[in-house]
Each structure stands twice: as C-alpha cells, then as structure tokens.
Amino acid sequence: MKLTILKIVLWPKDTSLTPRVVPFLPGKINIITGESCSGKSTLTWIIDYCLGSEKCSIPVGLIRDVTGWFGLHLKLANTEMIVARRNPEAQQATSDLYWDEGLDLVVPPVVQKNARVEDLKNRLNQISGLPSLDFSIDESVGFGGTASFRDMAAFNFQPQHIVANPFTFFYKADTTEHREKLRIIFPLVLGAIDAGTLAKQRELKDTLRQHDKLHRELDARLDAASAWEAEVQSYYMQARALGLLADSPSPETGWSLDKYILELQKVPATVEKSDIPDIQEGTSETAAADLTRLVNEEDELAQEIGSLRRRLSKLDQLASSVRDYGTTLTSQEDRLQGVGWFEERVSDTYKCPVCSAVHPDGNPRLADLQALAREWKALTASVHLAPARLDRELADLRLELRNREAAISKARQKRKYLEDRSAALAAQRQRVRQIYLFVGRVEQALKNVRASRDVDQLREQVAALEVKINDLRKELDPRMQASRLKAAADVVSAKIAQYASLLQLEHADENVRLNPKELTLQFDRLTGRTDYLWEVGSGQNWVGYHIAGLLALHEHFVSLRENFVPRFIVIDQPSQVYFPDAWPSIDRVPEGKSAAARSSDIEGVHRIFDALSHFLDAVAGQFQVIVTEHAGSITWGGVSHVHVVGNWRRGHDEFLIPDSWLKAE
C-alpha cells in the first residue's frame, strides 16, 4: 500500500498561533534527534492516533494541554490526504475527525470536524485493497473477522517498549486481541493466501451450511417415511372400521407400504360416491329453538294445571262444608216445626195451650220465635241451592284441568321427539364430521408419504454439494496453504539472516526463521534444539533482530503484487540498549581520533542506520523510514538516504511544542 507521511501537524488550542509542522521526505531515513522530553517518542503515538487508533496514547501533560488537534499530511498512490483528530482531553479517544483529500493540499491554519474516524478507516481499507471477506470458516472461532487497515499497524511501528522487547516482536502483539488477529491475517500479508482464497473459504463455508441444511432435510424425510409406515397401516384399519373400504381385503403380514398406500388411495373416491346425508346448516339451531319453545310451553301448562288443582281442591272443601252446613240447618229447621203448630193454636184465642193463660195482646216471645223460624227457613232454602252451583263450577274446573293435562301430555311427547331427533342429528353429524376429518388425514398422510419418499432430487442436490465441497477443499488444501506460508516465511527468513549478518548479530550464522504462529523469531541450532528470541541474550540482539525482521518483512511486502501494508516504518530509540557511558560527541568523531576508534556501541547504532540504508536500496527507495533518536549524527555519519528532520536540543531546532506556544501560555 503506497502511503507515506509528508508532515505531522499540531494545531494549537490558541487559534491565534500557527500550527506546528514537522516535515518528512518519502524514500528517506527521516531522523529526528534530540534530548529527553523534547517530544520525539510522541510522534509515534500521534501517527498511530491519526491513522485511526481506538485509544489515544499521546502522553498527557504539556503536549495535550496546548494542542487542540493532531494531524498528518499523507501521500497516497494518486492523491494526498490531510487527516486530523481532536485532542480527546479527559477521554481515551474521540471520533471527531477532519479529513481532506486531493492534490497539492495545503495545511489549513484551523481545522474543524467534518467526518468521523470510522469514515477514515473505511476509506483506508478501500485504498489498501484489503478483501472484505472474513477469515473464519468456523463461526465459533473468534478473531476471524475481516482484515482491517488498522491490523497492518503491527508492521509499521516499533516504539521504545517494543523495539528491544524479547517477548513481543510486533506492535500491539502484547494484547490477546491483536496477537490472535495478527496470527490469522499473517498468511494474507505474506502472500500465502489472497482475496481469491478468502472468497473460496467463504464459498466453502456457505456451501457447508447449505449442505448441512439439505442433509438434515433429507434425513428428516427418510425418518418421516419410516414413521409414516405405521401411521398408514393404522389409517387402513380405521377406514375399514368406518366402512370406507368394505371391499378391501384384511391386511396380511407381508403387505408393503406401497400396498397400504394403494388401498388407501381409494378412500377419497369412496366417500365421494357414498350416500352421506347432507346436514343442512342451521338444523340444530332450529331444533334447539323448537325444543326451548316446547319446554317453556310445558312449564306454563304445568303452572296452570297446578293453579287449577289448587282451585279444585278448595272448591271440593267448600262443597263439603256447604253440605255439612245444610244438614245442620235442616236439623235445626225440623226443630222449629212446632213453632208453626203453636202459632196456629193461639192465633185466635190468644190462650196458651199449655198453661191456659190468655194473652189478648199476643205473645212477644212467640213473635220472636216466628221471625227466627222464617229466617232459618230462608237460610236453609238458600243453602240447599248452593251445592248445585258449586257442582257446576267443579265440573267446569275438572274439564279445564283435563284439557290442560291433555295439552301438557302433547307438549311432552313433542319435546321427547325433538330431543330424540336432536340426539340422532348430533350422532349423524358427528359421524359425517368424523368421516370427512378422517379423509382429510388420509389425504395429508398420503401426501406426506409421497413427499417423504420423493427424495431423489434432494439426494442429487446433496451429492452435487458434496462434490463442490470436495473440490473447494482440494483447492483450499491446508497442506498447500501451509506449504505456501512456509515458502513465504523461508523467503523472509533468508532476508532476516542477511540483515542479521549486516548488523553483526549473534546467531546470524544459524538458521534464524520467522515463526508466524508464535509471532517471533526462532533459531534452529545444528544440535537440533530450537530457541526463540526471548531465549537469546543481549539487548543488542533483541534490537537488531527486531530491525532485521521488520526490514525483511517489508522488503517481502514490497515485492508482492498485493501489498496491504503501508510503506513506512517508525522506529523509536533503537540506540537505547547501546548507550555508552559517555558519548564522545553527538555530532562528530572526537579530535585526534579516527572513525575506527569510535565506541563499539556507536558502531552498533551506526550499523542499524546502515541496514536501513541498505533496505532502501533493496526496495528502490519505495519506502519511508522515520527514526526518533537520542543519539546524534555520529551514529549515522556517512550513511546514504539520511534526511535529518530536526535536532531537538537546546540551542538548535524547536522542540515538538515550539517556544511561541509556551510564551503564549
């Protein structure tokens, strides 16, 4: 990926001040030397942050206190790009981004947010040409997602804590997430696999998923066909019981499933030809209404009959009482018969026939008796007339009662008829419903059996997918991929050995190899023992092999047709393990001494710059190296392709934060 850094830009919080611009040249070893706390190491974190890092590692303190935005001016294959990210202040990072892309861009005096970091990442992924397919065939395997431009940062940065670290060879490989992701993408960046391989892996994953789905369906159909065999036999017995297969023979032990199916296929036609009564809609509702009406009528008649019977009972009691009363009155009337005789005897003489007393004015007592006798006689006559009227009323009541009883008897007969008829209709309806439901189940069963047994096309599809899977697996043979990965690692390992010899490192004459699985270097000794970088002593070896490994990798990347790694590397303080007790001079060889008399530590650092120069020759200058260094020009004197960006020491060039910014504070 053609991407180099033209400038690092810092925009101050005080917009009245001019931005701080640190320029770099493509195809050169860009060196920034300086004293401690001048901001050299911060450049690594600024570049990483502006290229989309999820976390801002720019040190807190003066730089963050006075800087509002951090930015880069980049040169791409056919265009330029200026990107800037806002100071996150108290946050770990911010998504606020300024982004401009075009030709001959000029650094603006002030920037404002016009995009998001995700937009930049997507654009850089597009420019890098990384495939948009994931690596994982098994979705349960983690860290197998799509390769990102951010994953390539492992090959672009060697900060202080990495460049001499015996346990961590690549940037950010000290965290599980980045280490596992780097292991997965290593075959891609080495050229052992390409976008076509990932496409085939994705096709294989999709084909396996489709094959599993169809295979499960095939197994389900075959299992269903076996299960339906017992079901079909049961339906045959039910059809015979319902009289739908009266002419079919009794099943024999040796009947096959096809024989049962052949017989059951007659059921729907038999039902269509059968004289199944048509149950009119609403019949049950009409019968229920009639039955309810008759029950209500029966209740009313029962109430009327009860009332008539109560009236009849009372009239019977009254008639009996009247007869008894009439008898009593007749007896009393007989007793008063003598009053008439006595009256006749004294009517002319007024002489008492008993005592012979004469009453010329009449007898008042006799008059009272005569009046009572007349009243009694009248009462007796009226009482004798009452039974005749009561008898007529009783006869009428009895006639009415018989009529009501006859009516309720008819109502009860009708009710019983309707109840019996409703039960018959219910039974008939149930049978018809049972027959139609059974026919429906039989038809569905026959359909399911045919579907479950019709697996030829499904078998062909499964077989075709199996052929495709086998072809894809042959093309994606892990042994072939491992062979290509080993071949690429061998190429890089040979280059590592060359740079190790140039750097005069220990064990350079042994079989030093890149181990993509362990993400480090290994040394295969003649004794048969394998050692890893962390088992090799000396800080000089650790730094040297880090430099040799990264240069060898980038030389290999540049030679690839598809190179996804940006063509720059930032190395911070490679001389940290070489510091002599006292540097004779940071800029020149001490007077009176030859270059050969330089410290061995200085010579070691000089060999690092010489290796960097040799690397730029190997890649025809199509690369950019940025080195931030405490040592002075004495360590790179005479090395070609060197471009000193700045000397950040008191009395020389400005530090990362210029004095004008500090005075404004």
Residues 501 and 398 in one domain: no
Q: Are 626 and 12 spatial neighbours (Cβ–Cβ below 8 Å)?
A: no
Return the pLDDT at 580. Answer: 59
Return the pLDDT at 596. Answer: 45
Residues 517 and 623 in one domain: yes
pLDDT surpasses 60 at 336: no
Contacts of 149 (CB under 8 A, 6+ apart): 51, 52, 121, 124, 125, 127, 128, 130, 564
Q: At which of 415, 431, 447 does a domain end?
A: 431
Residues 20 and 160 in one domain: yes
Residues 31 and 160 in one domain: yes
Backbone angles phi, psi at 111, to 5 degrees: -125, 155
| Range from 38-47, 336-345, 398-407 that averages highest in pLDDT | 38-47
In a domain, 258, yes or no: no
Q: Are 567 and 155 spatial neighbours (Cβ–Cβ below 8 Å)?
A: no
pLDDT surpasses 60 at 597: no
Choose between 65 and 308: higher pLDDT. Answer: 65
Q: Could you give the CA distance from residue 443 to residue 435 in angstroms, rounded to a whole number?
A: 12
Residues 601 and 507 in one domain: yes
- Averaged pLDDT score across all residues of the chain: 81
In a domain, 457, yes or no: no
Which CATH number does the domain housing residue 401 bear? 1.10.287
Choose between 650 and 321: higher pLDDT. Answer: 650
Backbone angles phi, psi at 146, to 5 degrees: -70, 140
Return the pLDDT at 499. Answer: 96
Locate 502 and state its tokens.
């140039």
Contacts of 572 (CB under 8 A, 6+ apart): 40, 41, 43, 44, 158, 159, 160, 163, 627, 628
Is 286 exposed, middle or buried, given 0-12, 13-18 or 19+ CB atoms closer than 10 A? exposed
Residues 481 and 570 in one domain: yes
Return the pLDDT at 260. Answer: 67
Residue with tokens 């890092």: 53
Choose between 202 and 332: higher pLDDT. Answer: 202
- Across the strands, what pairs with 115? 97
pLDDT surpasses 80 at 276: no
* Lowest mean per-residue pLDDT among 12-21, 58-67, 505-514: 505-514
> What is the domain count for the chain?
2
In a domain, 88, yes or no: yes
pLDDT surpasses 60 at 344: no
pLDDT surpasses 90 at 153: yes
CA-based nearest residue to 2, from 620, 439, 566, 593: 566
Indicate the pLDDT class of residue 140, thresholds 50, 70 and 90.
very low
Which CATH number does the domain housing residue 506 bear? 3.40.50.300
In a domain, 268, yes or no: no
Enter the DSSP assignment of 620.
Answer: T
In one letter, which amino acid is 609? Answer: F
Residues 486 and 425 in one domain: no
**Domain span holding position 368:** 283-431
Return the pLDDT at 578. Answer: 81
Residues 44 and 100 in one domain: yes
Residues 420 and 484 in one domain: no
Contacts of 295 (CB under 8 A, 6+ apart): 415
Q: Are 68 and 83 spatial neighbours (Cβ–Cβ below 8 Å)?
A: no
Residues 386 and 523 in one domain: no
Query: Average pLDDT, stretch 241-265?
Result: 67
Indicate the pLDDT class of residue 382, thresholds 50, 70 and 90.
low
Return the pLDDT at 460. Answer: 86
Return the pLDDT at 75. Answer: 96
Q: Are 56 and 92 spatial neighbours (Cβ–Cβ below 8 Å)?
A: yes
Residues 420 and 483 in one domain: no
**Tens of pLDDT, residues 534-561:** 998 888 999 999 999 999 999 999 999 9
Percent of the chain with pLDDT over 90: 41
Q: At which of 367, 398, 431 does a domain end?
A: 431
DSSP string, 349-406: T-B-TTT--B-TT--HHHHHHHHHHHHHHHHHHHHHHHHHHHHHHHHHHHHHHHHHHH
Residues 503 and 597 in one domain: yes
Q: At which of 431, 458, 488 does a domain end?
A: 431
Contacts of 321 (CB under 8 A, 6+ apart): none
In a domain, 272, yes or no: no
In a domain, 185, yes or no: yes
Residues 587, 590, 591, 597, Cα dihedral to 10° = -130
Biggest alpha carbon–alpha carbon distance for the chain:
210
Residues 487, 173, 25, 80, Cα dihedral to 10° = 90
Return the pLDDT at 528. Answer: 79
Query: Average pLDDT, stretch 551-577?
Result: 94
| Range from 399-403, 411-415, 618-622 that averages highest in pLDDT | 618-622
pLDDT surpasses 80 at 531: yes
Q: Are 41 and 17 spatial neighbours (Cβ–Cβ below 8 Å)?
A: no
**Tens of pLDDT, residues 447-504:** 666 665 566 788 888 899 899 989 888 888 888 888 999 999 999 999 999 999 999 9
Pairing of strands 67-75, 29-34: unpaired
Q: Could you give the CA distance from residue 311 to residue 305 in angstroms, rounded to a whole number?
A: 10
Q: How far apart are the first and last CA of the chain?
A: 41
In a domain, 103, yes or no: yes
In a domain, 152, yes or no: yes
Q: Could you give the CA distance from residue 242 to residue 80 in angstroms, rounded to a whole number?
A: 88
pLDDT surpasses 60 at 604: yes
Enter the DSSP assignment of 134.
Answer: B
Three-state SS across 143-156?
CCCECCHHHHHHHC
CA-based nearest residue to 301, from 407, 224, 143: 407
Return the pLDDT at 394. Answer: 75
Residue with tokens 């990107």: 83
**Tens of pLDDT, residues 261-272:** 666 666 666 666
* Lowest mean per-residue pLDDT among 64-68, 249-253, 609-613: 249-253
